[in-house]
Amino acid sequence: MPARTPEDLRQQCLRLDGRGYKAYKALEGEYRFPDFTLFIDHVQGDPFATPSRVRIRVPQAVAGFPPDLWEHPSRRVAAEHFILEAVHRALPRWSRPRGTGHSGRYFVEPVGQAMLPRTAVRLGAFGVELRFALGLPAQGRRILGRVAAQMLLEELPSLVRAALLYPSLPAETLRQYADVAEDADFLRQRLEAMGLVAFVADGSLLPRRSGIDDRPLTQGIPFQSPPSLRVHVHLPRAGVVTGLGVPQGVTLIVGGGFHGKSTLLRALARGVYNHKPGDGRERVVTHPKAVKIRAEDGRSVAGVDISPFIRNLPLGRETTAFSTENASGSTSQAANIMEALEMGARVLLMDEDTTATNLMIRDRRMQALIAREKEPITPYIDRARQLYTEHGVSTVLVLGGSGDYLDVADTVIAMDTYRPVDVTQQAREVAARFPTGRVREAQGPIHRPRRVPLPESLNPRKGRKPVVVKAPSRETLHLGTQTIDLRAVEQLVETAQTRAIGLALVYAWERYMDGQRPLADIVAQVMADIEAQGLEVLCRTPYPTGDLAAFRDLELAAALNRLRTLRVLGTRSAGR
């Protein structure tokens, strides 16, 4: 259908006034406004149904965003994030219930502290596009045509003026967002060459307001690196910045309770994402292949080789292709580690608060009391060095309770009243002075798992609908009749990521899950398609939706691994 004019739209709305809701369908189509194009992609079936999908596209000639905000991918994502924030600041002026159900309200994907690539705002040479939903207004099932006209013909143009035009945005702040993102991505790409797994800039603010509020704690104590671990980095925008360089190898974060150990580790886990200026973590940057590992009892496990950590289970149960519907603390953590290895993880982040003690340590006395043959578990302490030397996988471990780890650590950082202190030297002396008498228990190599998921693992069908993907929250994904529990996948931060992962699983299943390809290859294929074609490749609608955010390969695999119907063929490949 050819593009219509705003005047067509106005008359159409007025004609619809008072008619039954279904008549709204006539609005679907494209409208050419003087400054932008409005796409009404999908009209909801009734006032309570999922709100109607719309897009606003402003050509760059009108929007006026300079190329330095969209040519560089890091800067573009930051600018898109900023624009989305501006949309959220502007919308409350208009968004309010006006009638039944969703009537009169606007629904734009929420935006958090992390500057993720998202589909809600797209910026480029073409211009800027905003994708969102709105509740076409009705009283009961009778169309409120005048209110619709007000929304579409007055409020949307105002929204464009408030948030989608470069001249109406604070240029300096916008540039700051772009600079911060460019610096963070630059640094993340260079960590490995610098021999680091993470960098925490001096002056960073790590604590959050609360467990459910991701904004910085206002009265927090700024981070200050210990001189012996201080590194200088030269960033393209900020120039020289100093901070803590967390070296490759095995790093312990020790210290008394409540001194900020877990807060530091959590910041490192989040350092795989870029954070907005003012977040406090904008220069906390972690290796992109860093994975937070924890115990997760109750999860299902499908054919994972956990034998490096657990073998000779009672009654001769196999652990080279271990499956369970209900893993224990230690088996779940072992599976989490091996699955991370399968995906090429390079850094494992662990906190004693959330690990299984028996998987982490078995001290001299316990070794004496319980014979090796009676203990299926090889504790992590005996694998940590091997993971590094044989697989290049570093460990950062928060630990206040067991000094046995001093023997295997390259670096020991003590948190003292939120200040990191390099105690590596003292730790060596202590280790020499108090030998633990432990016997190393690890034997044999660690093989990187290579599992082949079977296509019958996944069935997106529910009732008469061939594909049902729903993400009611960050931590819950409904796929067909299955529910995937992502509570323990801590590096997922937004519902839009979970939703995108759900679609990516279906996409993977349709295109690549053939009973031959290994899991890591399937995930790599999906990521390559997204890289080449954008997140939009995952949309199952004829039009792109604004409700997706980018995710890592590691979290996509993590979701598949938690699908309770997952079935695999196992083969093992040695070495890296």
| Interacting residue ranges for ligand ADP, rule: CB under 6 A | 206-207, 217, 220-221, 255, 257-263, 415, 418
Mark 316-355 with x for binding to Mg ion (rule: CB under 5 A) and - for no binding. -------------------------------------x--
Of residues 82 and 418, the one with the C-beta less far from ligand ADP: 418
Q: For the purposes of burial, counting CB atoms within 10 Å of the CB of 464, is it exposed (0-12), middle (13-18) or buried (19 or more)?
A: exposed
In this structure, the chain runs to a length of 576
**Coil vs helix vs strand at 312:** coil
* Three-state SS letters, 522-543: HHHHHHHHHHHHCHHHHCCCCC
Q: State the Cα–Cα distance between residues 571 and 576, nearest whole angstrom.
A: 14
Q: Which stretch binds Mg ion (CB under 5 A): 88-96, 121-129, 255-263, 439-447?
A: 255-263
- Sequence-distant (6+) residues with CB within 8 A of 381 are 360, 361, 362, 402, 404, 405, 407, 408, 438
Of residues 261 and 289, the one with the C-beta less far from Mg ion: 261
Q: State the Cα–Cα distance between residues 323 and 336, nearest whole angstrom.
A: 13
**Coil vs helix vs strand at 171:** helix
Which amino acid makes up residue 165? Answer: L
Of residues 8 and 353, the one with the C-beta less far from Mg ion: 353
Based on C-alpha coordinates, what's the Rg of the chain? 26
Residue 258 interacts, among ligand ADP, Mg ion, none and using kind-specific CB cut-offs from 5 to 8 Å, with ligand ADP
* Closest CB 130 distance from ligand ADP, rounded Å: 36
Of residues 81 and 294, the one with the C-beta less far from Mg ion: 294
DSSP for residue 314: G
* Closest CB 491 distance from Mg ion, rounded Å: 18
Q: For the purposes of burial, counting CB atoms within 10 Å of the CB of 409, is it exposed (0-12), middle (13-18) or buried (19 or more)?
A: buried
Of residues 223 and 388, the one with the C-beta less far from ligand ADP: 223
* Closest CB 348 distance from Mg ion, rounded Å: 17
Residues between 351 and 380 with contacts to Mg ion, criterion CB under 5 A: 353
Q: State the Cα–Cα distance between residues 321 and 432, nearest whole angstrom.
A: 39
Mark 260-289 with x for binding to Mg ion (rule: CB under 5 A) and - for no binding. --x---------------------------
Of residues 353 and 531, the one with the C-beta less far from Mg ion: 353
Q: State the Cα–Cα distance between residues 378 and 360, nearest whole angstrom.
A: 9
> 56 and 91 in contact (C-beta within 8 Å)?
no
Residues between 418 and 477 with contacts to Mg ion, criterion CB under 5 A: none
Number of residues that bind Mg ion (CB under 5 A): 2
Of residues 126 and 258, the one with the C-beta less far from ligand ADP: 258
Of residues 318 and 353, the one with the C-beta less far from ligand ADP: 353
* Closest CB 334 distance from ligand ADP, rounded Å: 23
* Closest CB 426 distance from ligand ADP, rounded Å: 18
Q: Residue 234 — φ and ψ, nearest 5°?
A: -105, 110
Residue 259 interacts, among ligand ADP, Mg ion, none and using kind-specific CB cut-offs from 5 to 8 Å, with ligand ADP
Residue 130 interacts, among ligand ADP, Mg ion, none and using kind-specific CB cut-offs from 5 to 8 Å, with none
**Coil vs helix vs strand at 209:** strand
Of residues 416 and 485, the one with the C-beta less far from Mg ion: 416
* Closest CB 122 distance from ligand ADP, rounded Å: 36
Residue 207 interacts, among ligand ADP, Mg ion, none and using kind-specific CB cut-offs from 5 to 8 Å, with ligand ADP
Most distant pair of Cα atoms in the chain: their distance: 88
Mark 294-313 with x for binding to Mg ion (rule: CB under 5 A) and - for no binding. --------------------
Residue 171 interacts, among ligand ADP, Mg ion, none and using kind-specific CB cut-offs from 5 to 8 Å, with none
Residue 18 interacts, among ligand ADP, Mg ion, none and using kind-specific CB cut-offs from 5 to 8 Å, with none
* Closest CB 412 distance from Mg ion, rounded Å: 16
* Closest CB 489 distance from Mg ion, rounded Å: 20
> 108 and 546 in contact (C-beta within 8 Å)?
yes
Of residues 175 and 266, the one with the C-beta less far from ligand ADP: 266
Q: Which residue has the tokens 């074609």?
A: 533
Give the dihedral of Cα atoms 522, 547, 188, 529; nearest 10 deg: 30
In order of 180, 240, 317, the CA distances from 172 in angstroms are 12, 21, 62
Of residues 220 and 278, the one with the C-beta less far from ligand ADP: 220
Residue 71 interacts, among Mg ion, ligand ADP, none and using kind-specific CB cut-offs from 5 to 8 Å, with none
Residue 418 interacts, among Mg ion, ligand ADP, none and using kind-specific CB cut-offs from 5 to 8 Å, with ligand ADP
* Closest CB 257 distance from Mg ion, rounded Å: 7
Reduced DSSP (H G I as helix, E B as strand, rest coil) percent helix, strand, coil of the chain, to 5: 35, 25, 40
Of residues 273 and 418, the one with the C-beta less far from ligand ADP: 418
Residue 260 interacts, among ligand ADP, Mg ion, none and using kind-specific CB cut-offs from 5 to 8 Å, with ligand ADP
* Closest CB 357 distance from ligand ADP, rounded Å: 16
Using CB under 5 A as the binding rule, whether residue 258 contacts Mg ion is answered as: no
* Closest CB 490 distance from ligand ADP, rounded Å: 14
Q: Which residue has the tokens 């471990």?
A: 397
Q: State the Cα–Cα distance between residues 67 and 65, nearest whole angstrom.
A: 7
* Closest CB 309 distance from Mg ion, rounded Å: 23
What is the DSSP annotation of 32-97? E-SS-EEEEEE--SSTTSSPEEEEEEEEHHHH---GGGTSSHHHHHHHHHHHHHHHHHHGGGT---
Q: State the Cα–Cα distance between residues 289 and 478, nearest whole angstrom.
A: 26
Residues near Mg ion, by CB under 5 A = 262, 353
